[in-house]
A and B are shown apart, each in its own frame.
Chain A
Amino acid sequence: SQELEQSPQSLIVQEGKNLTINCTSSKTLYGLYWYKQKYGEGLIFLMMLQKGGEEKSHEKITAKLDEKKQQSSLHITASQPSHAGIYLCGADIANDYKLSFGAGTTVTVRA
């Protein structure tokens, strides 16, 4: 079973609409990363969260880490075609600096 569960597995959103992706673990997340991956390419860093309750924003993307540090969400406001891709959460779940990843959420933005 996956140590990091992402939901949904995929989603289709109309351009201009908002979307939210969740990343959940049964273990404490010591460092939570959000990456974006285009099909067949490497991972592009989006944001990193460490503290419980932390929230960061960059352009139209906001990521939050809950107080218990076991769940994170990624929210995109007013989605654009450039937001299409696979979003992966990665986290240190054993406090050993190694990252475990979720399986990813595929986002499609329809014009």
Chain B
Amino acid sequence: DAMVIQNPRYQVTQFGKPVTLSCSQTLNHNVMYWYQQKSSQAPKLLFHYYDKDFNNEADTPDNFQSRRPNTSFCFLDIRSPGLGDAAMYLCATSSGLASYNEQFFGPGTRLTVL
């Protein structure tokens, strides 16, 4: 089945130790998104790619970076995780940039920072 896959599902890192989260998709969608969702809060968009074009949200900290080496894969790099970065990280894809293009979500990666 076509889907959005996130690895790992659970990630534990130490304060200040770089970490990379992975997302892959078999939908061949042009757009890939990364959201941060803290406990009992709304998912918050960090950035997205339209093909290779990167779009950062204005309030996304510089500590968060992303790479999209090809259509199928997108990575979220947290350069120096702080305790406040502990959250669920959700990857989503859509076929295009329009409000009628459904976003398909992966299962998420729960990040713990010790």
List residues of A whose CB falls within 8 A of some B CB: 2, 4, 30-31, 33, 35, 40-45, 48, 50, 88, 90, 92, 95, 97-104
Contacts and interface: CB of A to CB of B under 8 A. Distances in A.
Interface SS of chain B: loop
B104 A2 contact: no
19 contacts: A31-B98, A35-B105, A40-B88, A40-B108, A41-B107, A42-B4, A42-B90, A42-B108, A43-B105, A45-B105, A48-B102, A88-B42, A88-B43, A97-B98, A97-B101, A99-B45, A101-B43, A103-B41, A104-B40
B12 interface: no
Interface in B79-106: 88, 90, 92, 97-106
B68 interface: no
B42 A33 contact: no
Given A40-B88, A98-B45, A33 B103 contact: yes
